[in-house]
Structure 1
Amino acid sequence: MMFFFRGREDMFTNSFVIRYIRSLSCVAVPALTLVPQICSAQTPSTIELDTVEVVQSHITKSIKSTAPAFKLSEKEFNRLGVTDISDAIHRLPGVNLRDYGGLGGLKTVSVRGLGSQHTAVVYDGIVLSDCQSGEVDVARYSLDNVESLSMVIGDNDDIFMPARVAASAASFSISSFRQPDPTKPLDLTTQVKYGSFGYINPYLRVGKAFSDKFSMNLIGDYTYAENDYPFRLKNGQHTVTERRNNSRMNSGHGELNAIWSPDSRSNLSAKLYYYDNDRQIPGPAIYYSNENHETLRDRNFFGQLQYRNAFTSQWSLQLHGKFNWASSLYHDENGKYPGGELNQNYWQREAYTSACLLFLPTDRWALDYSADYFFNNFTSNLTNETFPRRHSVLQTLTARYRSRLLTASARLLGSIYTNSAKLGDGARDYSRLSPSASVSVQPFADEMFFVRLSYKNIFRMPTFNETYFYHYGNPDVRPETANQFNVGLTYRLPSLSWLPNLEITADAYINQVKDKIVAIPYNMFVWTVVNLDKARMIGVDLTESATFNVGRRQQILLTGNYSYQRAEPRTRSQVTEYKKQIAYIPRHSGNVTVSYENPWVNLSVHTTAVSGRYATNNNNPDTRLGGYADVGLTAYRVFGLKGHDIELRGDLMNLLNRQYVVVARYPMPGRSWRITLKFTL
């Protein structure tokens, strides 16, 4: 069935990776910068909303942030050789990407071992949702339409935001909207990518500024790939080479964006979004059984509105509204089903609204009150469906103090969840208060050296699958509570002629989870969701970013990150899992990128390395997944042609052709290539 899209893998070791990853700790590597605050959350002098004025560099903001915060901009995607959003996530410390293989595989984000349901994925200011699984598939969002990506672990220093963004342990933000160039009669970007395994991806963005107050853009892209890449399959002493079959991807996406700015202090933005992916599901790679006939069609539509008004130098208002609709149509052909086929169709809907009020009593103090309401319901064609519904109310009250040497903030989140079901009993209702606080101190006024401390208490509601899914869900399962503690040191070296930038961050953390939600086998055929007593995650994240001037118009960029995570169930009654590493979380992981920028051809070599992991919480040796190192190479050049830009880029992925898996029995592609041609009018 679609829901149990999981598997295991025979032991696959790669001891060289462990040594390689440990060596990264000597280099300590970077994630780049902080989520830029919208101008109205700064000081009265930067209150205008139609154009965001950045009063400090992104690097300085990252160094001064009270919680770990990182950002990748559109320019850095090329400089670092980033190929897609999942590749960008690998450049962030403490982040685990669960990848089911290939271009069309499901990809979800987990931060510091807490699980993907604890990460809010934010698209242009509003949280994306999936009430069925609680997991957002980031693979469906194209990097071509992204202006920046940012990650905040804990609370954001920008306090002027919806309560729902603050209601997660971490937030991963995708910023896509860019206003058309008002100096051009038509702002046009067209691009095509072509690559291995039948991959082709045309993209078009058309924008127009109708006046200095109103502009629109239209975006569309289409992706097709056979994904029939070769892989090796081992069974004892025997090894065979197979090709991934039933792995075709056929997806399209379109957006319409508009922004109206009647004056310098207010704007209204709107977005219409549609996504359609009709793909085959390859299934787990099993010896003597490589056939699969599963398909899945995902569709998603949403419309959202955002209104911002800084109506005085001290008061600002944000209003948000959104309607979301999504469907998943699963089909499988197999003789074990009556009639030889199985069709499971799922639909979910959400209505969302939010209001945020910011008050700036002085230059140093900022106060925010935010209130969100959203309604979710879920239906399917299953005969045992209960048709669940949920009303959610979130409120936050936040205070921030900022001086030259100190930034401190405190927030109280109030959550109310009301559950019901059209057929049968609904899950229990819950309400909770969740406090958080963070501080950053600069001990020496003449040094860009900061010490930061943060604490955040958060909890997540069980998803509809965890509560209601037949032979799996448990209506009595309790919310999962997490306490996050972080202490960090950040430093930026004063700029030198040959070393204009050197930035280092080091963070240590402890996450304590109570009532962790897990699925365990009830009998040979049925699994059920239960609460474990406790789980604990201890870790260290290191980042480094350096720029070297090596000649006229020539620079070398060295960036990287290293993460150590020890994530363990701490429930003594679960003897086989007690103090074992939680499934799919590596002890060591890291990334190194070396880029050479010059007037001829820009080059980037990047490596992502991950130590061995286990596919089960009991760490059975038969479920061990070997470590791996994935090396990539990027070359690109921008040409000018009669005032227009033409960009040519080539990527080699998995340059060393290493075979590895991120999820058991879902092999990743070996060596592959991609060519990109981009034209900007």
Structure 2
Amino acid sequence: MRSKLFHIIMCVNLWVTLPQVYAQVFDTTTVLNEVEIVGARIPERISFKSTTIQKEQIDHYLSASLGELLTLNTPIFIKSYGAGGTATPSFRGTGASHTQVYWNGINLNSPMLGQVDLSLFPIAFTDEVVVNYGGSSLLYGTGGLGGAIQLNSAINWDNKRAIMGSQTINSLQNSITNMSVSVGNKKVQSTTKLFYKDAQNIFDFENPIQPGTPTWTNDHSAQLQYGFLEEVALKINQYNQLKFNVWFQESERELVPSMDKREADSWQGDTSLRLFSAWNYSKNKFNTEVSGAYIIDNIWYKKALNNDKNPKLSTSESRSDQLQLHQRGSYQISNNLLLRGGWDYYMDKINSSSYEPTGTTNSIAVTQHTIDIYGGLDYQPTTNLSVSLLIRQEWIDSDTKPILPSLGTEYCINPYSKAVSSLKANISKNFHAPSLNDRYWYPVGNPDLLPEEGWTYEATYSLHSNNKSPWQWSYELTAFNSIIHNWIVWKPAISNLWRPENLKKVHSRGLEQVAEISYQKEDWRIQLFTSVSFVKSENMEAADELDNSVGKQLIYTPVSSFQGYLQINYKKLYFIVEQQAYGKRYTQTDGSEYLPPYYLTNLCLGKQFTFKKNHFDVKARVENIFNYHYQSVARKPMPGRVYQMSVTYKL
């Protein structure tokens, strides 16, 4: 089996690499862009939907987490377990583990849980966020039944010295500090980023589950989080680059108590060390990147077993070690044909006190090996028409998984008009392997679980302006449809324990609309962004005769959602209004209970000014200005009105 895998991988490499050997005969000089995005050197696929959040937009949210940024700028619903609590994504009606998160092409999803906590990712550590919808995620790996999120770093080869410092405080008694220092020249660039967050998360809230809806104080969800990121890039010559990154982060927090308790009874700590290196070769029309990463994640969890002053604690600890190796390449054969291909290797090792103990040890070590290969092409036979094909194959511990094809096409109706319109359509197959917790959690893990798999169909109509007017606009409407088989559900088993099983067939479909209008002339700049989503995600099969969830919307999946903002800039003064709205979310699978809709409005007023070479940005922000009382997760309170001040300095 390993011999066959070796030959398949070699064939993929030869397919992408051999054209480059031929190209060396007709050697010409290619000048690289001086500002480059590390995680997006391989071209994105045409005819598949993606959204990019640029550095300029990220800079408005330096004190925010990745979850908060996505909430305001994408249709992804973020399920938040209260201030300072866990935040997990629901992308197009899928589960949290169905969204894959990548850092410069490295997968960050926990092999234990299969998902990520978006509240632990400081947005100041990234330079670009790319959201890949549905089948677009297959370019980087499997598992993204809903989609994928890329966190990319940037290299500015013109930079000689840059310093940034940001300080934010708010009325929750939270303090967030960010710093970065970049130095370098045309050959070497180094950036150091620091992050420190001391959050008390103290606020009053109305408690509707208590008689008379009294006002309680949330003062047991404190969080301490800090970390650093070191990025070094070396330009060996005009064709070769090396990159080295080190990302360390630690977090300790009180988990938000339920609204029927006044005291915290659970605590969690997360420590991560991520080591990354990459070699990129780009010459003529050939581009390849070989990268590797070693990731260590430690998680501990404590829970009080009684209400004593010094309670007895239940403690669990887990450590995961991940080794990842990737090779991704592309070759532009002609102006209308691009080939792409590559391979990935993952080694996941878990030591957990919650897995089945063996012998005299209190924990068990579980190791999993994954190999996948892919190949594809982007072809543009005419100016108006383009086609994209990709095929991916994966093996987990020598077990062959389904072949995953994806095919898309795009037709530009009027490419030279002042209003350019186009149609996209694609179909893709994807699968998500059970997490190691699903398979080995003691004593209910199920090693016989099947992968969740399904087909996704997607069509997009887009229209955008194409002129030199101060007014620019764009509109995009997407319809999608997914059917996922073998959906994994944890259901009651024996002795009040829950066990994962392949029970559900889920049908998710919906519409996504995005509209943008901008105006720029002289000292004025105005930008309006709106995003509206409608998602129906329902269970299609009963687990047993008592299952009343068939035909019901999945829990914590709003049917409708809206995100939008209006930003007005006049010279160095700016004003921003943000709006979020979410429909009701069911909290019981039979639809008998739900959380009501909620609407949030944020305001921001800021001023930028310069003194010699020193640049300052001072802004005041009010979140949830109408003091709306709501819950994202049942019985987990969210803050009302929050006042915030930020000062950012750049040199």
* TM-score (structure 1 length as normaliser): 0.85
The equivalent position to 1:416 in structure 2, one of 386, 391, 395, is 395
Deviation at 1:468, TM superposition (A): 1.3
Matched residue of 1:656: which SS? coil
Question: Quick one: distance in 2 between partners of 1:491 and 1:560?
Answer: 15
Q: 2:7 corresponds to which residue?
A: none
Task: Find out whether 1:322 has 2:293 as its counterpart.
Answer: yes
Matched length: 611
Q: 1:507-539 deviations in whole A, cap 9, x for unaligned?
A: 011011011111112256111111124110110
- Closer, same or farther in 2 for the Cα pair 1:203/1:306, shift >3 Å? same
Structure 1 alignment gaps of length 5 or more: 1-39, 55-60, 420-428
Instruction: Summarize the alignment of residues 249-288 of structure 1 with structure 2, pairs less than 5 Å apart.
Output: 249-286=223-260
Counterparts of 1:274 and 1:78, CA distance in 2: 22
Match status 1:587 vs 2:587: no
Q: 1:603 to 1:332 in 2, by over 3 A?
A: same
CA shift for structure 1 position 65: 4.6
CA displacement at 1:50 relative to structure 2: 5.7
- 1:14 is matched with none
Q: State whether residues 556 and 596 of structure 1, in contact with CA within 8 Å, keep that contact through their aligned partners in structure 2.
A: yes
Instruction: State the shift of 1:615 in Å.
Output: 1.2
Q: Secondary structure at the match of 1:89?
A: helix
Paired with 1:321 and 1:573, the residues of 2 have a C-alpha distance of 42
- Equivalent position SS for 1:235: coil
Residue in structure 2 matched with residue 642 of structure 1 by the alignment = 612
State the 1:262 CA deviation: 1.3
CA contact (8 A) 1:81 1:633 kept: no
1:352 aligned partner, one-letter code: Q
Greater displacement, 454-463 / 338-347 = 338-347
Q: Tell me, which stretches of 5 or more residues in structure 2 are unaligned?
A: 1-18, 38-42, 358-363
Q: Which of 233, 239, 254 is residue 213 of structure 2 equivalent to?
A: 239
Structure-1 residue corresponding to 2:95: 115
| d(CA) in 2 for partners of 1:673, 1:590 | 23
- Return 597-606 or 568-577, whichever deviates more: 568-577
CA distance in 2, matches of 1:180, 1:101: 41
User: Match of 1:205?
Assistant: 180
- 1:605 counterpart residue number: 577
Question: Equivalences for 1:324-403 in 2 at 5 Å?
Answer: 324-335=295-306, 340-382=312-354, 384-385=356-357, 386-402=364-380, 403=382
Q: Secondary structure at the match of 2:70?
A: helix
Q: Which amino acid aligns with 1:545?
A: E
The answer (yes or no) to whether the contact 1:91–1:561 under 8 Å persists in 2 is: no
How is 1:207-226 mapped onto 2 (pairs within 5 angstroms)? 207-209=182-184, 211-226=185-200
Q: Which residue of 1 is the match for residue 479 of structure 2?
A: 508
Q: Any conservation in 1 of the 2:63–2:124 contact (CA below 8 Å)? A: no
TM-superposed CA distance for 1:586, in Å, is 0.5
Cα 1:651–1:525, aligned 2, differ >3 Å: closer, same or farther?
Answer: same
Write the deviation string for residues 562-600 of structure 1: whole angstroms up to 9, x where unpaired.
Answer: 000011000045540000000000010011211111125
Letter in 2 for 1:263: N
* Alignment-derived partner of residue 3 in structure 2: none
Displacement after TM superposition at 1:165 (Å): 6.8
1:465-524 per-position Cα deviation (integer Å, ceiling 9, x unaligned)? 11111244322211100211001100002336342x110000011011011111112256
Post-superposition shift, 1:149? 1.4
Aligned to 1:98: 79
Q: For 1:236-280, what per-residue CA distance to the aligned partner results, in whole angstroms no more than 9, with x for missing partners? A: 751111111321111101011100011222211110010000111
Structure 1's 202 and 308: CA in aligned 2 closer, same or farther, altered over 3 A?
A: same
SS of 1:238's partner is coil
1:456-467 pair list within 5 angstroms: 456-467=428-439
Structure 1 residue 619 displacement after superposition = 1.0
> SS state of the match for residue 263, structure 1?
coil
SS at match of 1:602: strand
CA-CA distance at 1:356 after TM superposition: 2.1
2 CA distance for matches of 1:92 and 1:680?
A: 25
The C-alpha deviation readout for 1:53-72, integer Å capped at 9, x for no partner, is 89xxxxxx99x951221111
Determine what percentage of the aligned residue pairs are the same residue: 17
Q: 1:348 & 1:79 partners in 2: Cα distance?
A: 34
User: SS at 1:87's partner residue?
Assistant: helix
> If the length of structure 2 is used for normalisation, what is the TM-score?
0.88
Q: Give 1:662 shift.
A: 1.0
CA distance in 1: counterparts of 2:528 and 2:568, whole angstroms: 9
Contact persistence 2:36–2:155 (CA under 8 A): no
Structure 2 partner of 1:310: 282
| Aligned residue number for residue 164 of structure 2 | 189
Q: Is the 8 A contact 1:80 1:595 kept in 2?
A: no
Provide the C-alpha distance between the structure 2 equivalents of 1:201 and 1:76, rounded to a whole number of angstroms: 18
Aligned to 1:27: none
- Compared with structure 1, are the counterparts of its residues 490 and 147 closer, same or farther at alpha carbon in structure 2 (3 Å cutoff)? same
Partner Cα separation in structure 2 for residue 471 and residue 98 of structure 1 = 28
SS of the residue aligned with 1:144? Answer: helix
Matches within 5 A, 1:152-163: 152-156=132-136, 163=140
* Closer, same or farther: CA 166–471 of 1 in aligned 2, 3 Å: closer
Structure 1 residues 295 and 126: alpha-carbon distance in aligned structure 2, compared to 1, 3 A threshold: same
Return the alpha-carbon distance in structure 2 between the equivalents of residues 78 and 218 of structure 1: 17
Q: 1:493 to 1:360 in 2, by over 3 A?
A: closer
